[in-house]
Chain A
């Protein structure tokens, strides 16, 4: 199975700053996604990262707050902008190799704490 890595694995950030999370897959993938998992909650899809075009955001998430890049088929970044304590979560990227199902493989996650 493919390896999906994320950097950083964790960070503690101050309110008002921004953090960019990187997601690297060791092979070309069809689709990449970004999720948020708030404490005690399930996964919530933030957006689908589209290669070469703007990401597709879910309701409640906007590009100004969570800009996403996907310059190629193996790499994506998620930026959490102007952070507040409510942004403290685990952020996960996932990848899918097929458009016929949503079988996804996840990175290890980035644990973000905003103080």
Chain B
């Protein structure tokens, strides 16, 4: 079955540093979704990317989708403790009627 590969699985970053999380598919994606999960708060929708080469930003978080629509990166600039959590990418493929999710990246921010 189709899977999304996320890397790294876990990330520990000093507060104020930048970081990048990657999400890769072996198939062309129709839509790519980034979510953040905190304990007891469910998943928070961050961004959706649908066009090859698309880039979106929200506050200090930027997500990009490559031209082939098979890889996405999530970049956090000047990380803060509030950025800590699990980041999940999800994607739907052409012809599928559901989203599949990566296994997540657990982000820790050191003060």
Contact surface of A with B, Cβ cutoff 8 Å: 4, 9, 33, 41-45, 48, 58, 92, 94, 101-109
Task: Output the nearest chain B residue to A108 by Cβ-Cβ distance.
Answer: B42
Contact partner of B45 among A9, A44, A104, CB < 8 A?
A: A104
Please measure, in the bound complex, the distance between the C-alpha atom of A45 and the C-alpha atom of B41, giving whole angstroms. 19
List which B12-64 residues lie within 8 A (CB) of chain A: 31, 33, 35, 40-45, 48, 50
Whether B42 pairs with A104 at a CB distance below 8 angstroms is no
With a cutoff of 8 Å between Cβ atoms, the chain B residues found around residue A48 in the complex are 97-98
Shortest B4–chain A CB gap in Å is 8
CB distance from B66 to the nearest CB of A (A): 19
Q: Are B42 and A41 in contact (CB under 8 A)?
A: no
The contact sample of 11 A-B pairs, CB cut-off 8 A, is A41-B103, A42-B101, A45-B99, A45-B100, A102-B90, A103-B48, A104-B33, A106-B42, A106-B44, A108-B41, A109-B42
Neighbouring B residues of A44 by C-beta, 8 Å: 101
Q: Beta-carbon contacts of B90-111 to A below 8 Å, as 1s and 0s?
A: 1010000111111110000000
- Whether the pair B103, A102 counts as a contact (CB closer than 8 A) is no
Query: How many residue-residue contacts, CB under 8 A, span A and B?
Result: 52
- Which residues of the partner chain B approach A58 to less than 8 Å between Cβ atoms? 98
Q: Closest chain A residue to B38 by CB distance?
A: A108
Excluding A92-B43, A102-B33, 12 further A-B contacts by CB distance (< 8 Å) are A9-B40, A42-B101, A42-B103, A43-B101, A44-B101, A45-B99, A101-B31, A101-B48, A102-B99, A103-B31, A104-B33, A104-B45
B88 touches A92 (CB 8 A): no
How near does chain B come to A27, taking the closest CB pair, in angstroms?
Answer: 15
A39 to chain B, nearest CB (A): 12
Q: Enumerate chain A residues within 8 angstroms of B40, measured Cβ to Cβ.
A: 9, 108-109
Min CB–CB distance B87 → chain A (angstroms): 11
Closest to B97 in A: A48
